[in-house]
Amino acid sequence: MAKSSEHTSGPPLSLSHDELVVINNALNEVCNGLSFDEDEFQTRIGHSRTMVQDLLRKVGKALAKK
């Protein structure tokens, strides 16, 4: 798994509302339900907690639009 902080664009992704809810819930658990220190979080998830929290916010915004 690549550990790059750069955002790369790929093909557009179309997800249903239910799929976004699953992703939102999983990201929320990872960010808020697990008590890993930053190093352990980075090792297990492959990215920083801050990056994952940003992604959680993006998913939340997408859910608010649907």
CA distances from 11 to 8, 14, 64 (A): 10, 10, 22
C-alpha 65: how far from chain center: 18
Structure tokens at 55: 């992604």
- Domain spans of the chain, in order of start: 17-65
pLDDT in tens, 3-56: 444 566 777 888 999 999 999 999 999 999 988 899 999 999 999 999 999 999
Burial 11-44 (b: 16+ CB within 10 A, else e): eeeeeeeeebeebbeebeebbeeeeeeeeebbee
pLDDT value at residue 1: 44
pLDDT value at residue 2: 45
